[in-house]
Structure 1
Amino acid sequence: MSVRGHIAAIRFGYGLRLGEAPPANPEAWLIEQLDRPAAPPEGLSLAEGIRLRMEDQAARRAGQETPRAANGRSALNDAVRNEGIAHAHRRLTTAQGFRERLVDFWMNHFTVSRRVGVIQPIIGAFERDAIRPHVTGRFADMVVAVARHPAMLVYLDNAGSIGPNSPTGQRRRRGLNENLAREVLELHTLSPAGGYTQEDVQAFARLLTGWSVEFTNPPVGFVYRTAAHEPGAKVILGRRFGDGEAEGEAALRFLAEHPATWRHLAVKLARHFVADDPPPAAVRALEAVLRETKGDLGATARALVRLPQAWDPPLAKFRAPADYVIAAARAIALPEDRADVIVSGMAALAQPLWTAPQPNGWPDTMAEWASPEGLMRRVDWAYNLAGRAPRADARAVAETALGPLGKGETATAMARAGSVRDALTLLFGSPEFMQR
């Protein structure tokens, strides 16, 4: 019985799906997912999402009925719902759980939230266009793609940031918005440990003026508005940058390849894949790979697989609600056409899809999720999910979900349960299933 095979599926992915066997060569199985990605998912394009949003807003302003889908629902709301179900379906059925976990890790690192209405129909495109293509590429390329994407430019208010001394600023008497510059420095690259100052934030914000969006006239998407750019040199962490869009990109790449950024990313990756309190040796190993490869995320992911601390002890990380819901759904082989159960489950357990409350994303430690109320919600949800598998072989589900990582006490309690539903609820409510 492969202990490491189950660890590979649980720690690096979302668990096995009922009927799947644990990999015979766990390390090679994980690395193959990096080397041979599955076909990229389809979904609502950026242009289509913007069009739906603009048509919906135009109808509301005119006091008319908003456009409808064939099923009679609002076309905009139906498209947003379908994007969420497609996201859940991919994680329910994927054979590349490690790659999908990396996508979700970087989506959380570069959080945008559909709490901002205009982002709702384009957040799926943000994942497909700015995150997914770069999860095994260069971190600097991901940073640039993220900063240019309308979802991020709108979410962090840079679309309306105008240089006070630019032609547009002089005419409109409007000024800087520092949100994007601040979060790139604080969350996306250096972290506060990088030693940047408020002067650096302001200089970077001036450099990013003009980075905006076009939602009305084609081609929609990112646009650089020269007339809104603040003129003059800007100095960021001692590096001098001139005017123009290219200089803004140069600054992003400079920050993405800063030594403080390597350290920040190494800590976050180790916290996610190894332990809430990352072992210093694991952090040093990941930091060295990032530094030596200048941010090769594929090489860094391979280094994660080679970390001894990522395998021992097993089940060292508490599952966040999204992880918990997906793992349970996979373990019972939830039918593919019911991926909506995953979306509703995430919301029921206080981690609604793409709706993080702040730009720093969802928390990644046990202390933030393991409250008594949160645990009770999990058991209630697990009972409802178990009701969808009344004829399941509970022992087969337990073998899929945990294998040799399951505890004898849990197996005994399941064997004594009065029904399959009760047995599965005990499994999903067990301490070991709560961990990964």
Structure 2
Amino acid sequence: MTFQPEIAAIRFGTGLGPTHRPPTSPEALLRPLAGPDDMAALHPIPRSAQIEAEVHAIRTLVRQKRDEPDREEELDRAMRARRDALRDLHSAMAAATFARAVDTADPFRERLVQFWQDHFTVLGMGGLGDYAVAPYIESAIRPHLQGRFADMLRAVIQHPLMLLYLDQNRSVGPNSVKARRGNQMNGMNENLARELLELHTLGVGAGYDQEDVRQLAELLAGLGGNLENGFRFFVDYGEPGPETVLGRSYGRRDPKLEDIHAVLEDLSVHPETARHMARKLAVHFVSDAPDPALVDHLATRWADTGGELMAVYQALLEHPSAQGAPLQKAKLPFGLMTSAFRALGLDGARLTALDANRVRRTLFRPLAAMGQPWQRPLGPDGWPEAAERWITPQGLAARITWAMDLTRKFEIELPDPRDFLTHALGTLASEETIFAAHAAETVEDGVALVICSPDFQRR
């Protein structure tokens, strides 16, 4: 099947636009990913260490307020200032994420970030944790896009936000030094072990059982840390080995982080992981019911390379069923908004210049209205892929309202709808969409009709 640049720009990128040419080949999509991360430099987002420092500063003020009651008013002001600054930073991180998708000449990278952050979903669970999600993505996912899956898996599993989200940081092995001292805290927690097998690697129904989950949970005991001090491995919380997971023994008498790394390495190259991840990539990028030959091709490449991600991406981009098949999937709200901004020729600087209040009004509220509140998926399995989950009467009404409101919200001069149609869809526009763009009574209506068309809503 012939490579179709416009389809590739939407399926594997962040959409078409007047200032961005579509890729001319699979190599043109993949090549920039091997180079420097230009968008991270242009629109910076802090790594986790900066958020850890902010959290530490706020908690220090809390302790000072407790210990120095005579300074209560002064310390309250200082805490409010710190929290306000953190909220402003949170809004700036969101605007930078949008700006990257809009400005990028390396759109496959931005789409991969979205895929992997959803695969390794975390939630801040309220409070200070909400501000740590973007830095988690920046620290644990973005640097590992081009490497081995095992390295990304290790970075994610050792990140304090993942450990806090899945209650791993307080998990204590039943025969650990901590337990023998009579202080088991909350006992051993199986959340991380279960999600590691069920979501992150092997997949549901991949041949493991409850005993594998239990043994893996014992092996993982000792992983911990917090947003104030970062990751730590607590040897006293670890379960003395060995533990047997999927028939393989790990560990000896003394718990060691290296034994956890070993099981992660083995899980990353397991045949069931190759199959699970192959299907998930195919579903995300191509079709809710992907061609079995595409899934087989990806799984084989994963197995042959030991989960070398660049090789797997190449297998995805080169396969005939991923190159020219019609667009079938529904854009999620974030993808809809960023592709519309890109089609309108909006640049990232316009987004990063928004203050915190305008970020909430123009980015956060529409996302929530369309069903995808910012970095708040419903559970550890991330956002649903099926089109029927997004294309609902309520969801469509929110999408139409947002499209009609674009001019007022962003104070931009809209293009002629006929020009916008070309910028947004190229040759992919149907006769119905072409007619609507030409027949619209106003510029606002014409642009909104293109954005709300089935052609533009697909990816």
Query: 2:455 is matched with which residue: 420, 432, 436?
Result: 432
Evaluate the alpha carbon distance shift between residue 362 and residue 314 of structure 1 in structure 2; reply closer, same or farther with a 3 A threshold: same
State the SS of the aligned residue for 2:340.
helix
Structure 1 pair 287–423 and aligned structure 2 pair: CA distance change class (3 A):
same
* Residue 173 in structure 1 maps to residue 184 in structure 2: yes
Q: Residues 7 and 298 of structure 1: is their aligned pair in 2 closer, same or farther, counting only changes over 3 Å?
A: same
Match of 2:121 among 88, 108, 111: 111
1:254 paired to 2:266:
yes
- Rounded to whole Å, the distance in 2 between the matches of 1:263 and 1:392 is 45
Q: Are 2:181 and 1:182 equivalent residues in the alignment? A: no
How do residues 27-426 of structure 1 correspond to structure 2 at under 5 angstroms? 27-39=26-38, 40-41=40-41, 42-59=44-61, 62=65, 64-67=76-79, 74-171=84-181, 172-174=183-185, 175-216=187-228, 220-242=229-251, 243-335=255-347, 336-338=349-351, 340=359, 341-387=362-408, 388-426=411-449
Structure 1: how far apart are the matches of 2:138 and 2:246? 32
Determine helix, strand or coil for the equivalent of 1:160: coil
Is it true that 1:26 corresponds to 2:35 in the alignment?
A: no
Shift of 1:214: 4.8
Pick closer, same or farther for the CA change 1:60–1:269 going to 2, 3 Å: same
- Asked whether the 8 Å contact 1:92–1:329 carries over to 2, the reply is yes
Note if contact 2:113-2:141 (Cα within 8 Å) is conserved in structure 1: yes
Q: Post-superposition shift, 1:116? A: 4.0
Residues 1:433 and 1:44: Cα distance change in structure 2 (over 3 Å)? same
SS of 2:225's equivalent in the other structure is: strand
Aligned partners of 1:17 and 1:331 also within 8 Å? yes
SS at structure 1 position matched to 2:202: coil
CA RMSD of aligned residues (A): 2.0
Aligned partner of residue 49 in structure 1, secondary structure: helix
Q: Give the Cα separation in 2 of the matches to 1:153 and 1:43.
A: 21
Q: 2: distance between equivalents of 1:137 and 1:338?
A: 31
CA distance in 2, matches of 1:393, 1:33: 32
In the superposition, the TM-score normalised over structure 2's length comes to 0.89
Q: Deviations over 1:155-209 (max 9, x none)?
A: 1111111112212223313310111111000000001232111111111111111
Q: Where do 5+ consecutive residues of structure 1 fail to align?
A: none
Contact 2:172 2:184 in 1 (8 A): no
Render the CA deviation track for 1:318-364: whole Å, top value 9, x for unaligned. Answer: 11111111111111122432353344432331212211120000011
- Secondary structure of the residue that 2:79 maps to in structure 1? coil
Distance 1:15 1:26 in 2: 16
For residues 1-39 of structure 1, the C-alpha deviation after alignment (integer angstroms, 9 at most, x for no partner) is x9822111111011023333334x232321222222433
Which shifted more, 112-121 or 181-190?
A: 112-121
Deviations 1:39-59 (A, max 9, x none): 334322322212222333454
Deviates more, 1:171-180 or 1:58-67: 58-67
Deviations for 1:83-125, whole angstroms, at most 9, x for unmatched residues? Answer: 1111111112111111110111011000012334343232222
> Residue 191 of structure 1 aligns to which amino acid in structure 2?
G
Matched residue SS, 1:334: coil
Q: Distance in 2 between matches of 1:433 and 1:386?
A: 18
The farther-off stretch of 360-369 and 45-54 is 45-54
Describe the shift of the 1:238–1:73 C-alpha distance in structure 2 as closer, same or farther (beyond 3 A). closer
Q: Helix, strand or coil: the match of 1:222?
A: strand
Cα deviation digits, residues 127-150 of structure 1 (max 9, x gap) = 122111111211111111111111
1:212 aligned counterpart, secondary structure? strand
Equivalences, count: 429
Q: How far apart in 2 are the matches of 1:389 and 1:121?
A: 30
- Counterpart CA distance in 1 for 2:435 and 2:407 is 18
Q: Which amino acid aligns with 2:85?
A: A
Please report the TM-score for the alignment, with normalisation by the length of structure 1.
Answer: 0.93
Aligned to 2:69: none
Q: Distance in 2 between matches of 1:54 and 1:28?
A: 45
CA shift in 2, pair 1:233/1:3, >3 Å: closer
The Cα of 1:390 is off from its aligned counterpart by 4.0
Tell me, yes or no, if the aligned pair for 2:286 and 2:327 is still in contact at 8 Å.
Answer: no
* Counterpart code for 1:429: C
Which portions of structure 1, spanning 4 or more consecutive aligned residues, are displaced by more than 4 angstroms? 57-61
User: What is the percentage of aligned positions where both structures have the same residue?
Assistant: 39
Q: Measure the CA separation in 2 of the matches of 1:290 and 1:311.
A: 19
Look up the equivalent residue of 1:248 and give its one-letter code.
I
